[in-house]
A and B are shown apart, each in its own frame.
Chain A
């Protein structure tokens, strides 16, 4: 008797839950479309415009390439600087936000609240603020990316710290190590690979993000993107897009390879 397959209940038999949630989702989608006034037909209304643009971009101005190289290098440098700065500041915050390191719930709560606040700021808003504060140029871009990386990395890092084995920490404490020694000898070796992997991942995202920051005057390739678009030089736009594509693909590939090696 004990070892028999039980009868399926009515709920399990007709997948009631699955059907229920699917219907709810479809209703929500339709309601959103009605209330925002977005019609499905509008999506393809100006398709000929798109084709026109595509046609003009299909003849890239190859002579423009040499002009693009300098700003695209600047973009990568911005991303590197921003990610590094953000990471340096994120590490202490990540340690203080980790449940297995800081037992004081209040301190942890304050730190996490600050981190959550930073993370709610979208990068474009940060860029607009940075340009207003430090003026047009790459410095604003680095600031933006630093703050953006700080928010992202601190969360990824403290979640990494919370997954480590607690045994080595206990061993170090039992040997008379102080908190900093416990972190250096037992925590960092356990999280270092994870940290490097997340650093590369954030760098990847920052390279992509920094291409559009120039739109707001925050330096890099985005400045040229905006210039070419506003003067309707789509042949130049095409070169910029191709250049961005190459850089992003290369950096993604490099960082993915490195991250796989770290596993």
Chain B
């Protein structure tokens, strides 16, 4: 099978200005349409790995390719266009709490608008309809005129997913999307992500703490420890005992 990987990491290094190693010798190919779960301890570099893909973090060495094109030197408009095509979901939801749900969802679309139009709130009819559709997908259409801070955590995360959907992203990065949610809403949010993956072929990378969740949703599981890639298997090859090496701090890299 000769499909070209969508995302390629080549010898990626990330050292923070204070000397902390964020990522070390990462070589990784991610195929289009995969649902990848990244596991590892806090501080293992999971968030950093995700944020290098939309350049919210810059790497110190190596190269990252998206559809074969290096993204590490993008600036200005090119960088914004890259970010527009990569959606991001956060642990803290990051909605504007005092704005309406509708405005939050539409704000995912601003990358497609010239500054003056978006500032004046001149969104097209199609985009407003798309916002409704996005909210219907995550079962939140009835809250469209509510203020975001009136929603529960799980509801806010689902609105955040609708916001990301507005970007028409090729890739969705989800950084601990369910870490502050209860088990029931966790399932709803993970299902939303899985749907975007299945129905639209969006490539999804999710950081998770929970092994059972990883096993349930992933096509492929990647493990990070101290900034290094220590595990990488398709779900069919994963054994539950594998995780000891990722989570055991004293364990040797297998």
Contact partner, A175, options B84, B95, B99, Cβ 8 Å: B84
Q: Is the CB of A175 within 8 A of B107?
A: yes
CB distance from B71 to the nearest CB of A (A): 13
Q: Check A175/B90 contact, CB under 8 A, given A185-B107, A186-B96.
A: no
Closest residue of B by beta carbon distance from A191: B98
> Is A168 among interface residues, defined by CB-CB distance under 8 A?
yes
Q: Count A interface residues, CB 8 Å.
A: 21
Q: Is the CB of A185 within 8 A of B88?
A: no
> Is A163 among interface residues, defined by CB-CB distance under 8 A?
no
- Within 65-105 of B, Cβ neighbours of A (below 8 Å) are at 80-88, 90, 92-99, 103
Contact partner, B119, options A168, A175, A180, Cβ 8 Å: A180
Contact partner, B80, options A178, A186, A193, Cβ 8 Å: A178
CB distance from A207 to the nearest CB of B (A): 29
Instruction: Determine the chain A residues whose CB is within 8 A of the CB of B108 once the complex forms.
Output: 175
- Within 103-140 of B, Cβ neighbours of A (below 8 Å) are at 103, 107-108, 110-111, 115, 118-119
Instruction: Determine the chain A residues whose CB is within 8 A of the CB of B115 once the complex forms.
Output: 178, 180-181
CB distance from B207 to the nearest CB of A (A): 15
Q: Is the CB of B110 within 8 A of A190?
A: no
Instruction: Determine the chain B residues whose CB is within 8 A of the CB of A171 once the complex forms.
Output: 88, 90, 94-95, 160, 163
CA distance A193 to B96 in the complex (A): 14
Instruction: Determine the chain B residues whose CB is within 8 A of the CB of A181 once the complex forms.
Output: 110, 115, 118-119
Q: Is the CB of A167 within 8 A of B92?
A: yes
CA distance A178 to B83 in the complex (A): 11
- Within 54-89 of A, Cβ neighbours of B (below 8 Å) are at none
- Within 170-202 of A, Cβ neighbours of B (below 8 Å) are at 170-178, 180-181, 184-186, 189-190, 192-193
> Is B197 among interface residues, defined by CB-CB distance under 8 A?
no
Most chain B beta carbons < 10 A, residue from A173, A176, A185, A189: A176
Contact partner, B88, options A165, A175, A178, A184, Cβ 8 Å: A175
Q: Count B interface residues, CB 8 Å.
A: 32
Q: Is the CB of B96 within 8 A of A185?
A: yes
Q: Is the CB of B110 within 8 A of A172?
A: yes
Q: Is the CB of B110 within 8 A of A175?
A: yes
Q: Is the CB of B80 within 8 A of A177?
A: yes
Instruction: Determine the chain A residues whose CB is within 8 A of the CB of B103 once the complex forms.
Output: 185, 189
Instruction: Determine the chain A residues whose CB is within 8 A of the CB of B85 once the complex forms.
Output: 176
> Is B54 among interface residues, defined by CB-CB distance under 8 A?
yes
CA distance A28 to B184 in the complex (A): 65
CA distance A165 to B95 in the complex (A): 10
CA distance A41 to B249 in the complex (A): 77
Instruction: Determine the chain B residues whose CB is within 8 A of the CB of A180 once the complex forms.
Output: 115, 119
Q: Is the CB of A176 within 8 A of B119?
A: no
CA distance A192 to B80 in the complex (A): 26
CA distance A175 to B164 in the complex (A): 8
Contact partner, A172, options B54, B97, B107, Cβ 8 Å: B107
Q: Is the CB of A174 within 8 A of B110?
A: no
